[in-house]
Structure formats: structure tokens, C-alpha cells
Structure 1
Amino acid sequence: MHQAILFTLALLTFSTTASAQQIHRLAFANAKEMHNYFKVNVGAPIISGHRGTKEAGMPENSIAAMEHVLKHTQAIFEVDPRLTKDSVAVMHHDARLDRTTTGSGLLREHLFADLKDIRLKDAAGHTTNDAINTLDDMIAWAKGKTILNLDKKDLPLAMTAAILAKYQAYAWVWVTVHNVDEARFFLESHPEQFISMHIKSKEALADFVAADLPIDRMIVYIGSEFQESNTAVHRFFTQKGVMCMISTAPTYDKLTDTADRAKHYRAVFDDGASILESDLPIEVSKALVD
């Protein structure tokens, strides 16, 4: 059995929902417990569902997609909050509605009430029964089940911080940051806020080191595959116990052969990543125990 994936067998926990459906949960009593779990050689290797999943006809950025994944494997999820015209935070990746919903036009030009009859589409363009979820609903749903990693779209940093403060969601919601200024804002906004920071090159690493920011509340996204440009980044952070994440959504997920994808998923962990983010998290989990 592939040694990097023994976490799937050893650490998965199960609980029963009201519908009697068993799911895999990742839950923490408090933010400190969560922070301690997501460290190299402490927390197990982690699967992250990119926008939830696009498997099994599930619509991206939906509670339904995440629930489906958790029926099969423990996972965390990268998701995308955006604002409606009346400043309601809803879960949608694109600026436009057309690709992933039955609506059209810019999301930012629609009132929240305008979205009530819109339905989400799956990756093949088929209409589902699922409506667009609000960020509030998703945060409430995720508590005690998983970790949400909020990517940066058009929500002002202060609004995101205020929403997290409202729910005191520091034990189960992260924020993605793309530069040291965004990182500084969140790390200083609340002592328990956890971040997922993009640092993909030696130059970006130098900027981070120069900023002298705390390093005990973060994971680092280093790119879509291991390469020469991010080797120093990976070495620097893993030596300090900080988990590094590879996203295979733009790379290995697009390979046409299932066995070939599985080989690359296993290699990501063998090469030293602690977190693998994928559009196909269920497939990744299966690849790791084959």
C-alpha cells in the first residue's frame, strides 16, 4: 500500500447526518487545535477539493459538491466568494454567470433576489437542481465538517474579516492571500486567523521573509507542480513545519488516462507536498489507496 496515504485509513472519522448519510469529517475544538494539525509531520497529507469538485455531475462552489466529496473522503475545500449588486457574498468563481449557471451577465450586476431562480450547471453544462449558495450558508454548513479556504475575488478584505468575526469561524475557515500586504492584513486582523498564501518563486519568498510576518498560522501554495522555481520555497517552509500545497487542477487533472493521473497524484505527495488540491478529490483519494 502506498505509504503516504496511510492517513486515509488511520485518521478518517465518520459521523451521521440527519439524513443518515455517513460523511468523513475534519473538525477541531478550537483554532489552536486546527493550527497545530496543519503542520508538517503533525497533520496528515491532505486532499483539497478545488471549488468543491466537478465529479459525478456536481456543480462547483456548491454545498452539494462538498457533501458529495465527504461521503467518499476527508477533504478541505477551496471556494470562491463574490459580491452581488447589493453586496451579498455568494459562492461563484467567474465574474460572469454564464459558464456555471442558467443565468447570464456579470454577477456583480445582479441583486441577490435576482439569483433565486437561477440554477447551477455541472462541468458538462447540464442544469442541476442546486441554487447559488451564500457565503453565510456555506460557513454555517462547514462547521464541524471541513475546512473552507476562501479565495480572493471581489470581496474587500475588511468585509471578509468581518464575516469571519461574525461567525468566529477561525477553527474552520481560511483565507487565501496573494501578496504580503493581504497576508499582513489578515494576520494582524485576528490572532487566530489562518491563511493560505501564494508563494511560488524565490522572489516571492524573499518578499515574504523581508515582511517579517508570523509563520505559525499558514500553509503555502507553491504552484501546480514541483519545478526548479519553487524548490527553494518548498525547502524553506517545510523545514519550518509549514505545509506546502500543489494544485493539480491546471496540470495533472487534465490528463486523459486515469492511471496516469493516479501516478502523478501519488508522486505529488512522494515529492514532499503536504496538500494536493484537485478538481477530482474523490479520484485522488482512490488513487492514494490503490
Structure 2
Amino acid sequence: MTISSLDAMRDEGVLADFSLEMTAKDIAALHHAAPVIPRGTRINVTFLGNEDFAMRRNAAAAVRAAGFEPVVHISARRIASELELETFLDALHEDHTAAALFLIAGDPARAEGPYDETIDLIRSGIVERYGVERIGIGGYPEGHPHIDDHTLWSALEKKAAAIAELGVRGEIITQFGFDVDAALHWCARVRQRGIDLPIRIGVPGPAGIKRLIGYGRRFGVGTSAGIAKKYGFSLTNLLGTAGPDRFITRLIGEYDHTRHGRIGVHFYTFGGIRTTAEWIEDFRKGAPR
């Protein structure tokens, strides 16, 4: 790919419609970052165990009020009852923030209520009752530390089919990773299996090197040495900060629509929403970093 085509891809390709992620505690950070985030950007509100429904509701409402599109996460295994799910969705519907949801099974080993897997939420009737227009589901290009590949692929195929049956838009957002080759190879395998949902490849936003390594180990997406090599930083400078420059540049350069289908990028901001948004703005302008 030539330099000129790379520059064009910054605005017209995988970064044309990026999304961001925040927690319910990041409302102040969102307000600080809002001036440098394009209006209409999708911002995912996570479903952490230490944040309650009221906090998540307020965060989703703040996203919408700031001119962005909230995508609220719901963790199946953290929902204690059908009533709890309905109460939360009633509130989101009232706030006009229920149109887009991201559904995951969640971290608990055992379900706290009637929903054990993502597919249980998809088939629960929430689309029909709450006017959900788009459902996001998870993908794992570098595998999952506690789930074998066969199970992951089977679940992905079932979820994609269930979304298609509902007649709503769907998308896949992958776990963050550090390996472009693994991400694009996985996208190609998704297409080979007949799944044509848009894919947003998860990428860590600029963050401290120690934090990146810690998250990588926690989610089983690489060793310290492997992350450093693929992401382009030195393990001798653990106090420094690393951005996804090399990852995104390689992703743009090696992306092939015929093989990989529709893809975009989802940034895991680790609390640094404005830092991530500024990095994206600079990268799209071709500014040196």
C-alpha cells in the first residue's frame, strides 16, 4: 500500500467510524473529552460488577446528552432475575438509550440468575419489548483463557444466526489484542464461516506500558515479551506510555475488504477517553506522535 493510499485510509477506512469505551465512573472524563470526539460516535458503557444500574443509566444518558450514541453493555451472568433486567431496560428505554446494546456472558463462573449465556439475552424478548435496533456481541481473535476454540466458534455462529432471525442490525466487537496478524486471520475465518456482521477490532488506547501488560496478562492475550514486540515498546521502559500506532498502521496496510469484510476499530480507553480521542485525531491527520 502506498503512502497516499494509507493517508486516505486514515479517514475513509477502518478509522472512519471508530467507537470508544467508558465505565459508569467516567462521566466527568467524557465531558472533558467531548470537544475532540466526533458527534455521533458510538460510546460503549461497560457492565462492571462494582457499578450499579443507576450509575450505568446515568452514564448512558450522559453519552446521549453529549451528542454521542450510547451502547450499553449487559452481562448475562450478572443479572439476578428477569425483573432486574426489565427494570434496567425500562429505564434505558425511558431515557432513549436502549437502541443499541452490547450483550456478553460476563466474568462470573456461574450465573447469578436465569441468564447463563449471551444467547439467552438475545432470545429473551428484549428486542421486541424495548425497541432494540442493534445488538453487539463479543469476539476473541486471540482466544479466551477459559473457553476452548470450538466452543467460541459455535457460540459465535449461534449468536449471529439469532440476531439475523430477529431482523435487527448486529456487530461483533472483539476483545482487545496486540497481534494484527491474529486479528485479521480471525476476521477471515469469521467470513469463511458465513458470518457477515461488521467487526470492530478491539485496540487499547494510549496507556502506560505497565498497565497494558497487566491487562494483557489478565485477559490472556499475550506475554510481556510478546506484547512488547508486537506493540513496539521496550520492557526496559515500563514507566513510559505506548499507543496503538504500529497496530493501526499495520491493520490499515494489511486490511483486505474481500477477505476481511466490513471492519472498524473499537478503542478500550482504560479511563483515558480524551487521550485516546486526541490520539485518533492526530493519527487521522497524519500528525507525528
TM-score with structure 1 setting the length:
0.55
In 2, are the aligned partners of 1:221 and 1:244 still within 8 Å (CA)? Answer: yes
Query: Which of 149, 167, 177 is equivalent to 2:104?
Result: 177
Query: Where in structure 1 are there 5+ consecutive unaligned residues?
Result: 8-40, 53-59, 92-134
Letter in 2 for 1:245: R
- Which amino acid in structure 1 is aligned with residue 190 of structure 2? V
* C-alpha separation in 2, matches of 1:160 and 1:235: 37
Separation in 2 of the partners of 1:191 and 1:138?
A: 16
| 1:247 equivalent in structure 2 | 202
Equivalent pair of 2:64/2:97 in contact (CA under 8 Å):
no
Normalized per residue, the structure richer in helix is 2
RMSD (CA atoms)? 3.8
1:234 deviation in Å?
A: 5.0
Deviation at 1:64, TM superposition (A): 1.9
Alpha-carbon contact 2:171-2:200 (below 8 Å) kept: yes
Give the conservation status (yes or no) of the 8 Å contact 2:72–2:101: yes
Distance 1:222 1:247, change over 3 A: closer
C-alpha separation between the residues in 2 aligned to 1:141 and 1:289?
25
**Distance (Å, rounded) in 1 between the aligned partners of 2:265 and 2:72:** 16
Which residue of structure 2 lines up, in the alignment, with residue 206 of structure 1? 157
Cα 1:139–1:70 shift into 2, 3 Å: same
CA–CA distance in 2 between the matches of 1:276 and 1:287?
15
1:61, distance to aligned residue in structure 2 (A)? 3.5
Ranges in structure 2 where 5+ consecutive residues have no aligned partner: 106-117, 141-151, 178-182, 205-214, 217-226, 235-240, 270-275
* Separation in 2, partners of 1:235, 1:143: 40
Distance between the aligned counterparts of 2:34 and 2:26, measured in 1?
13
Q: Name the SS of the counterpart of 1:274 in structure 2.
A: strand
- The equivalent position to 1:150 in structure 2, one of 72, 82, 89, is 72
Are the structure 2 counterparts of residues 51 and 268 from structure 1 closer, same or farther at C-alpha, using a change threshold of 3 Å?
Answer: farther
Tell me the amino acid that sits aligned with residue 29 of structure 2: A
Aligned to 2:136: 196
Is 1:136 the counterpart of 2:58? The answer is yes
Matched residues in 2 for 1:269 and 1:61: separation? 32
8 Å CA contact retained: 2:70, 2:97: no
Q: Would you say 1:51 and 2:22 are equivalent positions? A: yes
Using the alignment, how far apart are the partners of 1:203 and 1:144 within structure 2?
A: 38
1:288 aligned residue: 284
Matched, 1:218 2:167: no
**Post-superposition offset of 1:48:** 2.2
Map 1:87-126 → 2, pairs under 5 A = 89-91=54-56
For residue 67 of structure 1, what is the aligned residue in structure 2?
A: 31
Q: How far has the Cα of 1:145 moved from its partner?
A: 0.5
Superimposed CA distance per residue, residues 214-270 of structure 1 (whole angstroms, 9 cap, x where no aligned partner):
353222113334054453225667x74x32111113568976487872121233355
Matching residue of 2:207: none
User: Aligned equivalents of 2:63 and 2:243: distance in 1?
Assistant: 35
Partner residue of 1:6? 11
- 2:266 corresponding residue in structure 1: 276
| CA gap 1:82/1:228 in 2 versus in 1, 3 angstroms | closer
Task: Give the CA deviation at 1:168.
Answer: 3.0
Q: Residues 73 and 63 from structure 1, CA distance in 2 versus in 1: closer, same or farther, beyond 3 angstroms?
A: same
Q: Percent identity?
A: 12
* Contact 1:247–1:278 (Cα < 8 Å) also in 2: yes
How far apart are the structure 1 equivalents of 2:267 and 2:101? Answer: 15
